[in-house]
Amino acid sequence: MTPRDVPRVNRALKRAYEERSGAVAALAKAQTRDPFRVLVATILSARTKDEMTAEVVRRLFRIVKHPADLRKLSTATIEKLIFPIGFYRTKAKHLKQLPVVLDDLFGGRVPDKIDDLCRLPGVGRKTANLVRSVAFDKPAICVDVHVHRISNRLGLVATATPHETETALREILPKRYWKTWNRFLVSYGQTVCTPRRPRCDECRIAGCCDRVGVEHGRRRPQS
């Protein structure tokens, strides 16, 4: 794949995303665009499938509507509310710390800058980029394992880490694709371009994929 293929690939990924049955839509609905809810839902979503995240955030947000609500809950209570989400004990500790850090550093408000977001408990660059994009509607490239894997499989980048992929994509992708690239590739990575045994025979973008090309004894010329 070359940068010239990006519009065509993005259209195909968008169609696949829109056809997927509603788990991601349910998560987005649970989040709304409230920065605090987006932040909490994104922290909880790490290493957890969308269906489980959507279920847990709906349950949690019936009780927790503002940062101050987390202050009133014990860590043990938060654990019970978010179980069985992945790494629920660690995430419960981060959520318990969150309102204190927000008050101390940002006057109780969720910041919109990547470096500031990364100062919050449980927030790395992936989460920070996603919060900036979803909650504040600002350009950001969120790179998780799916985006890193598929971008490399396609041959769009040749990078060793998600952070390197983020840097490379900033140079390659037009800004109009920044906010959706993660959303589309995460969905595709969970359903088609999986880590093991990817379903290449079902893939809508196989014609642009370097991995498929190598397996069939060819390689797309790079420009």
* 89 lies in the same domain as 55: yes
Nearest CA among 91, 208, 90, 215 for reference residue 151: 208
CA dist 177 and 223 (Å) reads 20
Q: Is 60 among the domain residues?
A: yes
Q: pLDDT, tens digit, for every residue of 162-211?
A: 999 999 999 999 999 998 899 899 889 989 999 999 999 999 999 999 87
85, part of any domain: yes
* Same domain assignment for residues 106 and 150: no
CA distance 13 to 15: 5
State whether 38 and 132 are in the same domain.
yes
| 166, 108: one domain | no
Angle at 185 between CA 118 and CA 9, to 5 degrees: 130
Segment-wise mean pLDDT, segments of 10 residues, the chain, 223 residues: 94 89 49 84 87 90 96 97 96 98 97 97 94 91 94 96 96 93 91 94 92 51 40
Q: Convert the pLDDT of each residue in 129-142 to its tens digit.
A: 999 998 998 999 99
CATH of the domain at 101: 1.10.340.30
Considering the domain architecture, whether residues 95 and 126 belong to the same structural domain is answered as: yes
Q: What are the CA-CA distances from residue 62 to residues 81, 126, 215 (Å)?
A: 10, 26, 50
**Total number of domains constituting the chain:** 2
The DSSP annotation for 70-134 comes to HHHS-HHHHHHHHTTSTTHHHHHHHHHHHHHHHHHHHTTS---SHHHHTTSTT--HHHHHHHHHH
Range of 66's domain? 34-136
Q: Is residue 222 in some structural domain?
A: no
Looking at residue 221, what DSSP letter applies? Answer: P
Q: What is the CATH number of the domain that holds 7?
A: 1.10.1670.10
167 shares a domain with 107:
no
DSSP state of 182: H
Same domain, 97 and 119: yes
Contact 150, 165 (CB under 8 A): no
